[in-house]
Structure 1
Amino acid sequence: MGSFPGHVLPGTLFLVIGVWHIWSAMVRYSSNPKSFRVRVWNPVPGFNGKLKYLELYVIAIGGFIDFCIELFYSTHLKLFVHGILNPTHMNNFEHAGMLLMFVIFGLIVLLSEKTSLLPLPDGALCFIAATAFAAEYFLFFFHSTTHKGLEGYYHLILVLLIGLCILTTIAGALIPTSFPIDLASGISVALQGLWFYQTAFTLYGPMMPDGCQLKGDNIMCRSADSEIRGELLANFQLFSLILFVLAASAGAYGFAASEADHSEIRNSHVALDD
């Protein structure tokens, strides 16, 4: 069982990184489509390079803060009971492990980019990111907390979105010049963040479907029809989020292209038409 803050905090992290990835991919492609390469992270321009690695710091520090919340705050420091891990907080331990993978990813990329200790190509970094997403995928797929009913349906959709993050990240390593793949990677991460938010507001906030309510640690629905209506509402919410992200991405790309010399893009379209 989760909580409102437990979904909003990681959702914020994924949403911010995903939106930044989408925008950066668009700017890089519209600026010079011929030299475009997939990037697992994107430097922040300006400020004399002082904020260049901001995205990596957000991933590493933000993930570490969330890791500490799950491991120490949520467990009330009761990590062990009778010499074994506290079974009451196994879900918190699993969440902490997932977040630790993203912290490790951020640190590895920082070492690769800022030092000569671990020089890795972008393709290898993509595979490391895919490993972090894979750990998250298996966490939610084989969760010690049994998600049933409406809660289980929301987490099933989350697992599918995480799987999309894995596929697009691996594809970025295999096809490093593909702008659609890089864009799809950012969109999948942003959608994952938005779905964390949607889950928080629906299951633990003011958007609970009629006929369902939070009782203790479970989402209870009065009847099977109420649960089905809740699942149909989840489908509509997912469709709305996808439509919103795609529309926002199209508008952002139009703006990025208008700010750059995109004659090369038009020429490539003409070449394809010919």
Structure 2
Amino acid sequence: MGSFQGHALPGTLFLMVGLWHIWSAVVRHVANPKAFEVRVWNPVPGFHGKLKYLELYVVTFGAFLDFCIELLYSTHLKFFVNGVLNPSHLNDFEHSGMLFMFFLLGAIALLSEKSSFVSLPQGALCLIAAAAFCAEYLLFYFHSTTHKGLEGYYHLVLVLLVGLCILTTVAGALYPNSFPIDLCSGIAITLQGLWFYQTAFTLYGPMLPDGCKLKDNEISCHLAESAVRGELLANFQLFSLVLGVLLLVVGSYGFAASRYGGSDLRSMHSVQDE
């Protein structure tokens, strides 16, 4: 079982990174489609380059902050009981491992960019990102906390979205010049962040379906019809989020093309029209 804050914090990080990934991929493509390259992270312009590594700092320190909350605050430093790992906080330890992988991703990318000791290409960073998403996938798939009923359904959708993140990041390493793959990666990360928020508001907030309630740290529905209605509602929520993100992508592409589109983009579109 989780909490509203436990889903909202990682949801915020994934949502910020995903939206920035979408916008950056679109701008880079419309500016110069022939030289497009898949990127795990994207520099932030402005302030004479002082914000260049902002995305990496958000990933690194955001994951580290959440890691400390899960490992230090949630466990109250009670790591062992009677000489064995505290069984009451196994889910906190699992979350910490997942977050540590994303911390490593950000730290390695920063080290690669800001030092001469390690210089990794974007393809290698794609595989490291895929490893972090794999750790997240395995965490939610083989969770020590048994997710049942409506809660299990929301976490099943989350597992599918994480799997999509794995596929797009691995594909980015295999096809380093594919704009659709880079764009799909940003969409998958954004949807994961939004679904974290949706889970928080539905299971631990004001959007809990009628006939279901949160009691004794567990979601229970009085009737089977209530559980089915909750799952159908989850399907509608997922559809709405996907539709909203796709509309956002189309709008972003149109705006970016009108503002940053170069002659290469116009010539490419003219050739496609012919």
TM-score range, shorter chain: over 0.9
Secondary structure of the 1:220 match is strand
Aligned-residue CA RMSD (Å): 0.9
CA distance in structure 1 between the partners assigned to 2:267 and 2:234 by the alignment: 42
Q: Deviations over 1:207-239 (max 9, x none)?
A: 000000001121000011100000000000000
- 1:42 aligned partner, one-letter code: N
Secondary structure of the 2:186 match is helix
Are 2:110 and 1:128 equivalent residues in the alignment? no
- 2:206 aligned partner, one-letter code: P
- Displacement of 1:143: 0.3
Other-structure match for 2:44: 44
User: In the alignment, is the contact (CA less than 8 A) between 2:31 and 2:265 conserved in 1?
Assistant: no
Task: Give runs of aligned pairs for residues 254-265 of structure 1, distance below 5 A.
Answer: 254-265=254-265
Other-structure match for 1:272: 272
TM-score by length of 1: 0.98
Other-structure match for 1:211: 211
- Displacement of 1:263: 3.3
Other-structure match for 2:179: 179
Secondary structure of the 1:238 match is helix
Other-structure match for 2:138: 138
- Displacement of 1:160: 0.1
Other-structure match for 1:84: 84
Give the paired residue count.
Answer: 274
- Displacement of 1:262: 3.5
Q: Deviations over 1:24-65 (max 9, x none)?
A: 111111111111100000011111111111100100000000
Unaligned runs of 5+ in 1: none
Unaligned runs of 5+ in 2: none
- 1:114 aligned partner, one-letter code: K
CA distance in structure 1 between the partners assigned to 2:179 and 2:99 by the alignment: 28
- Displacement of 1:253: 1.1
CA distance in structure 1 between the partners assigned to 2:67 and 2:261 by the alignment: 43
Other-structure match for 1:151: 151
Task: Give runs of aligned pairs for residues 97-116 of structure 1, distance below 5 A.
Answer: 97-116=97-116
Secondary structure of the 1:89 match is helix
- Displacement of 1:12: 0.3
- Displacement of 1:269: 2.9
- 2:24 aligned partner, one-letter code: S
Task: State the percentage of identical aligned residues.
Answer: 71
Other-structure match for 1:250: 250
- 2:224 aligned partner, one-letter code: A
- Displacement of 1:273: 4.5
